[in-house]
Amino acid sequence: MALKETLEPRESSCTSAQEFAALAREALADPKDKEYARYLLDQGESAAQMPPYYVAVAECALELDDQEFAMGIYEQAEEMCFDAMEFAAVGHSLRGHTL
């Protein structure tokens, strides 16, 4: 069940972008609560510190059908990349989720 009332108590235990993204995915299950899912993704974006965290938020934003928001998150992930493997991971996610 993806109702905000069901998920909201678990929100306070989220400490990472990936946890917020996972909870947002649950909010997108039937019945969908897109508004709450977007709120959770905003929280995830604020908590993100490394490229994989941004990628988790971006991938969920694509599931939300918010391509503009997702692309902005992918850009942030790219800006945080320090080595080729991180760039490759961001590119792999983009290719796998946007083509």
Q: Does the pLDDT at position 3 exceed 90?
A: no
**3-state SS assignment for residue 47:** helix
Nearest to 37 by CA among 27, 29, 45, 47: 27
Percentage of the chain lying above the pLDDT 90 cut? 87
Whole-Å CA distances, 19 to 43, 64, 84: 10, 16, 26
- Domain holding 59, by residue range, is 4-98
Q: Give tens-digit pLDDT for 25-72.
A: 999 987 889 999 999 999 999 999 999 999 999 999 999 999 999 999
Q: Does the pLDDT at position 75 exceed 70?
A: yes
Overall average pLDDT of the 95-99 stretch = 84
Reading phi first (left if > 0) and then psi (alpha if -120 to 50, else beta), residue 63 is in: alpha
Separation CA 58–CA 1 (nearest Å): 23
Q: Is the pTM of this model over 0.75?
A: yes
Count of domains observed in the chain: 1
